[in-house]
Structures are given as structure tokens and as C-alpha cells.
Amino acid sequence: MYNTVDDNNLFALVKQDNELAYTELYNRYWQRLYFVAHKHLKSDPEAREIVQEVFFTIWAKRRSLVIECFSAYVAAMARYAVYVSLARKKKHAEEISEEAISKRTLSVALAELLENKWLLEKISALSSVLPEKCRLVFIKNKLLDQSLTQVAADLDISPKTAEAHLTKALKIMRDKLGDAAIFLML
């Protein structure tokens, strides 16, 4: 009975809660909407979900919708739903990518921290065998990152003497750790 009624008149009947008119509109448009959605999403379940979402919205908002051209309206709804779905997928992929980068960065940082901790423990152990002034100059300059001028002032020695103590400390450390490790301290 409804297959000869035009879309706009069918929708007018839908607004009056006519389920048969609604079913007729669904039967006329679900394949077209499915095709549009599937073309962009390349997924049968997602395309079906889009069609269901469009028609669910039509039914849920039937009394408040003002539709002049039903076919254009549902096509626009389907396209919009596809764009939202694609945007959601893209955002999800970016979040996964950021999470992977974050995990990788965290593992690299952890590895560096462990290496630095090992090196610091080794240097602390070796610095304990240094003569007192050499040890103080070495710790303040290399570990606390103070300038030689500042170290000399703190220890009440000349900058040349501080430099001599540092040179002696580095030579002892180089002998104990090897050239590769001393490169890390420079």
C-alpha cells in the first residue's frame, strides 16, 4: 500500500507514528546508505551500524525533524556518520601510536636511568679511593656540575690547584674504569 507513496508523504506518516511508513522508507534506502557507508569504511559491520544509526535517529526524532527532501537528508546523515566514524578511527590510531611511542620512550629512559645508576655507583665507589681534595674537586665539578672557579672558591684553593686536583682525579678514574667510561664523565 505504501510503495506508491512518495518519500515526503511517507515521512509525514512516520511523524504520526506510522511504523509501516517507516518500514517502507527503511526498505527504500537501507541499501543505498549501506553502499555509501561500506564504500568509505570498507567494513560490513560498520556500514550496517551506520544504516541502523541513521534510521534509529529518524525514528527517535521523527516528531521534531523538519525534512524537505528525505533522500538528501538520509544521505547527508549517512555521510556525516561515516565521517564521524573515520575521525574516531583516526583518533584511536593516533592514541595507540602515541601510547606505543610513550612506552618505547619510557623503556629507553628506564634503560638510560639504569645505565646512569650503574655508572654513578661505579664512580662513587672509585671516587672513595681518591685523595680527599681530589675527591671533593671531582664530585663538585663532575657530579654537581660546578665550575672549577666556584669549586676553588668553596674549597679555598686557587683555580690552578683545583684544576690540578681534577686532572689527578680523572687520571686515577681513567686507570680504574678505562677510556670509554672516562669519556662519559667529560
pLDDT value, residue 110: 58
CATH number of the domain enclosing 50: 1.10.1740.10
Domain enclosing residue 27, as ranges: 7-95
Q: Directed axis angle between helix 70-127 and helix 44-60, to 10°?
A: 120
Percent of the chain scoring above 90 in pLDDT = 37
In a domain, 111, yes or no: no
In a domain, 171, yes or no: yes
pLDDT value, residue 178: 63
pTM score above 0.85 = no
CATH number of the domain enclosing 156: 1.10.10.10
Contact 71, 87 (CB under 8 A): no
**Final residue of a domain: which of 95, 119, 143?**
95
**Final residue of a domain: which of 70, 95, 120?**
95
> In whole angstroms, how large is the CA radius of gyration of the chain?
37
Contacts of 131 (CB under 8 A, 6+ apart): 168
In a domain, 37, yes or no: yes
pLDDT tens per residue across span 27-43: 999 999 999 999 989 98
User: What is the number of structural domains in the chain?
Assistant: 2
**Final residue of a domain: which of 75, 95, 115?**
95
In a domain, 105, yes or no: no
Same domain membership, residue 22 and residue 90: yes
